[in-house]
Chains A and B, each alone.
Chain A
Amino acid sequence: MSMHDTGSVRSKLILMAVATTIVALVTAAVAMLVVDARSAQQIWVDDLSTQADIIANVAAPAVSFNDSASAARNLAVLRVRPQIVAGAIYTNSGQRFATWSRDGAAKDGSIPLRPEAAGHRIERGELTVFRPIVENGEPLGTVYLRSRYGLFDRVMSYGAILGVVMLGALVIAALVASRLQASITRPLQAVTQVARQVMLRRDFTLRVPGREKGEIGVLVEAFNDMLAEIGRRSDALQAANRTLEHEMTVRERAEQALIVADRRKDEFLATLAHELRNPLAPIRTGLDILRIRSGDAQATQRATDIMERQLRQMVRLVDDLLDVSRINTGKFTIKMGRVELKAVVNDALEVVRSYIELHGHELVIDLPDRPVFLHGDATRLAQILSNLLNNAAKYTNRGGRVVLSATVEDKTLVLEVADTGIGLAPDMLDSVFEMFVQVDSTLERVNAGLGVGLSLARKLVELHGGAIQAYSEGLGQGSRFVVRLPIVVDPEPITKPTPAAFISTESYRILLADDNVDFVNSIGALLTAMGHSVVITHNGPDALAAAARFCPDYAFLDIGLPHMSGYDLARGIRNLPTGAMTVLIAVTGWGQEKDRQLAFEAGFDHHMVKPVRFEQIEEILGNRSIIKKLRT
């Protein structure tokens, strides 16, 4: 706040004090002047009258004894009074007896010739007084006195004194006011200054210092409180803004992730279509061969091999997809048990060996000599290995080398699948395990995969309490996948029955019910060839009738049968007198857990998802004794 700001509270206060003082002083001065003028006039009249009375008294003998010289001497005494300008004495008969005037006899004309009645008169700035001369009770004459009437001069000098006093008073008032106003303006200035600072710096932590009393104190306190409140709200606003920004970022990231996921899904769909379409061409070719050259046993065999290989690839693909789906929805269960490494490796090799050989790769296997026991699901562990090997075979150019090695480190089994393939870029080492991620979309179609295999492998490893890691020296340098699994040291108490007992000595009665005529006929032909007696039906009622008549040991029932659903058919068979002894297997295109549940509720013992591989049927037939044991 500028000290010279005329609008400031400070100047206004000083101005107020000075103005008040001026008004008070002027009023007092005017009143004093009026009173003084009035009293002064009275005093002067009284004074001059007294003077005249004194002269009258003194001059009485002179008048009495007719001594005008003495009277003149008496009058001459008046010279000691400067304001008296003239005097005279008249006899009783009205004659001028003696005169005196300050400036000599020349001014006699100003002295009246005849006396007037006793009294006073003011005219032309002069005061004239007539007083009687009384001696011994007798009037002797009259005294005349005239004096200057300096009322104006007196008022002027009095006013001058008042003016000087007023000036002094004003100066003092201004000084006092400027001292006193500090108690009001200092806090106000502080408030103003802080307000300005707050506006400039946007700093709401500033406070007006000092503890004043009264309204100023309340003002300062309220101002500080307001600052605090504004500060709080400002902080809250900023915090809300930050939160919003953060949420914004999170949302953008999520959106980005969604976009990426969406793109991957699109790519996945394209790839899926391609992958599913790929095996169809050779299968179709095989069919053509079979139709055209049905007589050529060698050609037929080759076509059948091709078709079987392609079919297996497709089934494997769809299985993987289903597994991934189950894992993602949390419905994937693994049957934990004691598993020996070699069995797992054999299972895996059985699946992928033909594929590796197809690509012309050299397969090197290096396993520890002593048996290594793992805690897990043999099928799934084999699936992990087969996926890794399959992957290695797929992303290695023809004639490459695939190495499967296993070592034991303390209580951990380290499985390593290495290849001499196209390798991985460093930034892909982690993301290669994500769903639908493929190494390079520019790869030729034949090398393109669904991006499901590795993702499934990692999930399975994690379900077994292990870890999987990818290593690569770079693109074209080959890649290495290392799986670490915990080892169970205890020896296996009982020998696990071979999961796939291939050789069957028993022959069973088997009922097949499916509206896919080709499928059931081919399966039926195979089973018949293996020595079993087979009845084939294509709808529900027929199947139920066949079951009642045939009393099958096994019944493979399609869920989607005409005229009667597989579930109803199963319940019908179970209601038959011999129904309880039949092993019911649901064959369905739906592999969801819900479907499995429905199947088991309807009385099925097994659940198979189309397309059904013949090995699966064989496996079920091999477990006959176990099922029997369970049921009895």
Chain B
Amino acid sequence: MTRILPHRTRRLACRALALPLALAAVGTRAAGRGAVPGAAPDAPALERRVKAAFLYKFLGYAEFPATAFSEAGGALQIVVVGSDDMAVELARIAAGRAVAGRQIAVRQVRADEPLPPAHLLFVAGADVERAARVLRAAPGAFLTVTECDGGLRLGSVINFRIIDERVRFDVSLDAADRKNVKLSSRLLTVANRVQKGGS
């Protein structure tokens, strides 16, 4: 088990964290497809990639209502708001892959652009205001993911957090219910916090 030592610098920690996370995310690909061997990526980039991998994996643990697809076998729409890197990374991960037999389509949208319908909507950035505004603007989005403090209160289903220098996430089941998205209990077992009811 890789132990995280609290007195280490964030950089080192991130660096140490980077390789396993990357490997865990895209293990089946040729080693270090997203990671250049011998040149350690900087921490923010690593975090992007980890979160991108998580986003991709969330799809496997979520069940969307039948009305979510205009046609049977239609692709899963991933919309990334406010992060080109993330969109690129996601597109790279999802390329050629399918979840539950569905192709994955990744679109990158700026914050002021109108939002297309999305099965998974990721709002990047710690800006709470912006996140709240985007979420309000996208009532049709099913699985909404944010990475700002109190994201769940804004109505997002999953909110990324950094705990002990590691990427974790909180889940709001109420929000999922509202969005009519069923989240696998197996996902919940690895969630940092599962918000349910008034809590």
Q: Which residues of A contact B (CB under 8 A)?
A: 58, 60-68, 70, 72, 91-93, 95-99, 135-136, 138-141
Contacts and interface: CB of A to CB of B under 8 A. Distances in A.
Contact of B28 (A66, A97, A139): A139
A58 B186 CA distance: 7
Interface string B32-54: 00000000000000000010001
Contacts of A98: 1
A95 B20 contact: yes
Given A65-B54, A95-B20, A140 B27 contact: yes
Give chain B's interface secondary structure class: mixed
A63 B24 contact: yes
Nearest to B1: A68
Contacts of B166: 66
A97 B23 CA distance: 12
Interface of B: 1-2, 20-21, 23-24, 27-28, 31, 50, 54, 57, 60-61, 99, 166-169, 184, 186-187, 189-190
A286 to B, nearest CB: 182
B1 A92 contact: no
A61 B1 contact: no
Contact of B21 (A66, A99, A138): A66
Contacts of A138: 27-28
Contacts of B61: 61
Nearest to B19: A93
B189 A139 contact: no
A60 B27 CA distance: 13
Nearest to A140: B27
Contact of A60 (B50, B99, B186): B186
B20 A91 contact: yes
Nearest to B188: A61
19 contacts: A61-B189, A61-B190, A62-B189, A63-B24, A66-B21, A66-B166, A67-B168, A67-B190, A70-B190, A91-B24, A91-B27, A92-B23, A92-B24, A92-B27, A93-B31, A96-B1, A138-B27, A139-B27, A140-B24
Given A65-B57, A66-B166, A97-B1, A92 B190 contact: no
Contacts of B57: 64-65, 136
A168 B159 CA distance: 70
Nearest to A99: B1
A541 to B, nearest CB: 182
Q: Which 6 A-B pairs have the closest CB atoms?
A: A92-B27, A93-B23, A67-B190, A65-B190, A61-B186, A136-B60
B158 to A, nearest CB: 11
A72 B1 contact: yes
Contacts of B27: 91-93, 138-141
B7 to A, nearest CB: 20
Nearest to B22: A93
A506 B23 CA distance: 199
A93 B20 contact: yes
Contacts of A91: 20, 23-24, 27
A64 B99 contact: no
B58 to A, nearest CB: 9
